[in-house]
Structure 1
């Protein structure tokens, strides 16, 4: 599935998608958006974990400014980047963003759409869109406050504060830091822990975590009702009880 803008490594339980426009610091253009939609289409049909990462010490420097400059009000209403980021966020199985170097603007918003973010000390993540005369309209203005709280989100989106890797870790925006050479291995280690669990239970957990507050506790009850009837639940619990007897 490798494309003009993405390098794709396929494993039995996950895809590793590497943003691959190093000559443009992995700026997100229309081709990359289209390629990410194709990845989503496949993972919607065949649910697997997704690891997103960058190349040459850069996750994604933002949206492609040359394209962005020519976009019109009608383009804004089409939500080109926001639509694919939301689709990534809503994939059935978890998404891990492995962040090194710049994750700015649209690159940061892509990272915010992931379920897990890990990084390196040289990570620089933020949303400087207002310096270009626009707003962060692909998810930052509502996802970021949920992730780090309103005061820090306001500073990042209105005052242009860019967090270092250590600052992102302290703010809870990333959950762990690795040396650059160990970052992808760290993502795989996290994916391995997720993959050891029941995939259906993981999918329901993600779905219920994302449900609006008004849907709880009914969302938990309905998901648990399905899982209580599953063969995998019976198998795993039987194995657990047998281990205790030994």
Structure 2
């Protein structure tokens, strides 16, 4: 998959997507949105776990491209250009992991919130400066961030634009680990190795059940578990477990 704003590699058990607009600090423009939609299309047709990163040069994503954002109208807002993409990422069939090195700001932070798991480096920080620019964080932060860190902290960050450093993000539950920059991709690689050990259909149905929300529980879990209980892979894996020497 050849792109202008992304570097994409695919192996048997994962897809790695690197944001690649270094001259713009990986700001999310329309081209990147279009190319991330193409990645989603591929992963919907050929489900794999995804690693999303800006690499390890100290920048994840500085936000939406302000030059394009300034000229967008109310009609553009209702088209959900970024939020529609991030919801599509959130709904991908298999787990997604964001490896964050450096700033994740505005739309860049919201892109990371759409992933299932976030791991960041010690020099990372998160921020929602949109209100200072005369808009709101309209690509998921007003509802995903409260779910991730709690309503009070989320409101503080959204109202003030304060930057949330890595260690505080860890304490708040926004990220699952904070590691040195040189350890970021190896750490996430090991995490994806562990994910790859699970049965693919079990992963897909687990993600569906978690994403369904409180109103659907426990019904989604019951239906998903019923499907898995009748699967050959479940029987084979449990038989191997029972036959261990």
Q: TM-score range by the shorter chain?
A: over 0.9
1:24 is aligned to 2:24:
yes
1:208-227 aligned at under 5 Å gives the runs 208-227=209-228
Aligned to 1:36: 36
Separation in structure 2 between the aligned mates of residue 216 and residue 3 of structure 1, nearest angstrom: 40
Separation in structure 1 between the aligned mates of residue 152 and residue 71 of structure 2, nearest angstrom: 32
1:171 is aligned to 2:206:
no
Measure how far apart 1:2 and its partner are: 3.1
1:231-246 aligned at under 5 Å gives the runs 231-243=232-244, 246=245
Q: How many equivalent pairs are there?
A: 244
1:9-158 aligned at under 5 Å gives the runs 9-55=9-55, 56-158=57-159
Aligned to 2:229: 228
Unaligned 5+ segments in structure 1 are none
Unaligned 5+ segments in structure 2 are none
- TM (normalized to structure 2)? 0.98
Separation in structure 2 between the aligned mates of residue 115 and residue 85 of structure 1, nearest angstrom: 12
Measure how far apart 1:11 and its partner are: 1.1
Q: Helix, strand or coil: the match of 2:70? A: helix
Q: Helix, strand or coil: the match of 2:40? A: helix
1:65-92 alpha-carbon deviations (Å, 9 max, x no partner): 0000000000000010000000000000
Measure how far apart 1:123 and its partner are: 0.4
Measure how far apart 1:181 and its partner are: 1.4
1:158-214 alpha-carbon deviations (Å, 9 max, x no partner): 111111111111111111111111211111111111110111101100000011322
- TM (normalized to structure 1)? 0.98
RMSD: 0.7
1:132-174 alpha-carbon deviations (Å, 9 max, x no partner): 0000000000000000000110011111111111111111111
Q: Helix, strand or coil: the match of 1:189? A: helix
Q: Helix, strand or coil: the match of 1:70? A: coil
Question: Which segments of structure 1 move beyond 3 Å, counting only runs of 4 or more?
Answer: none
